[in-house]
A and B are shown apart, each in its own frame.
Chain A
Amino acid sequence: EVQLVESGGGLVQPGGSLRLSCAASGFTVSSNYMSWVRQAPGEGLEWVSVIYSGGSTYYTDSVKGRFTISRDNSKNTLYLQMNSLRADDTAVYYCARDRSNYWYFDLWGRGTLVTVSS
């Protein structure tokens, strides 16, 4: 079955760190453009970061220098390392697939909740 399963969310204090994982099955992560998209409680969708099949990475301005997207090809898994977390990073984080040069997300995970609070 083709699917994405996120994990690693939880409660973290402001200034803390967390690493999210997104395990893929039924397709190869490294052959696609993989993104993280987040949704704050009661709010809309916000794109966070992408890693292209060639390895280039891009971020939305609010997370540059704090978040790092990566992948482990041997595990077929996408990651998001989040450092210096702030209260406004609180959100459900989804991983999503863009099948390279399609420029839309055809597959989404169910999301993992990150709560930044003291």
Chain B
Amino acid sequence: EIVLTQSPGTLSLSPGERATLSCRASQSVSSSYLAWYQQKVGQAPRLLIYGASSRATGIPDRFSGSGSGTDFTLTISRLEPEDFAVYYCQQYGRSQYTFGQGTKLEIK
């Protein structure tokens, strides 16, 4: 089973700053199978990025994804107030989906 480890656990930044969130896999992951989600309190997750770097429909271009192999990154170029939330990476392999433990992005 592939384990996804996200870092940092909590990231404290101010609006307008750049956020860099990491997702590291215990084994190599196909870029096609790596996605990122945003979840706000009391809401369902929302797909942000799929295929490691493709933005989902309606996602602003300040969100970008990159990486390959075992190291993937979600970058938010200039934080807006509505971006403060929890972010999860997710991968698929051998008929199993797995999520990272999440990174909480909080207002500094």
A71 and B35 alpha carbons, distance in the complex (Å): 26
Q: Give me the interface of B with A, judged by CB distance under 8 Å.
A: 32-33, 35, 37, 39, 43-47, 50, 56, 86, 88, 90, 92, 95-102
What residues of chain A lie closer than 8 Å to B45, measured between beta carbons? 37, 45, 94, 105, 108
Complex contact A35–B44 (CB within 8 A): no
Complex contact A50–B95 (CB within 8 A): yes
Chain B proximity of A3: nearest CB distance (Å): 11
- The contact string, 1 if C-beta is below 8 Å from chain B, for chain A 26-37, is 000000000101
Main DSSP-derived SS at the B contact region: strand
Query: Size range of the interface on A?
Result: 20 to 34
Complex contact A104–B99 (CB within 8 A): no
Is the CB of A9 closer than 8 A to any CB of chain B? Answer: no
What residues of chain B lie closer than 8 Å to A111, measured between beta carbons? 44
What residues of chain B lie closer than 8 Å to A37, measured between beta carbons? 45, 97, 99
A103 and B97 alpha carbons, distance in the complex (Å): 8
A44 and B86 alpha carbons, distance in the complex (Å): 9
Is the CB of A75 closer than 8 A to any CB of chain B? Answer: no
Complex contact B33–A103 (CB within 8 A): yes
Residue of B nearest to A95 (CB): B44
Residue of A nearest to B33 (CB): A103
Chain B proximity of A56: nearest CB distance (Å): 8
17 contacts between A and B (CB under 8 A): A44-B88, A44-B99, A44-B100, A45-B39, A45-B88, A45-B99, A45-B102, A56-B95, A58-B95, A94-B44, A94-B45, A102-B50, A104-B50, A105-B45, A105-B90, A108-B45, A109-B44
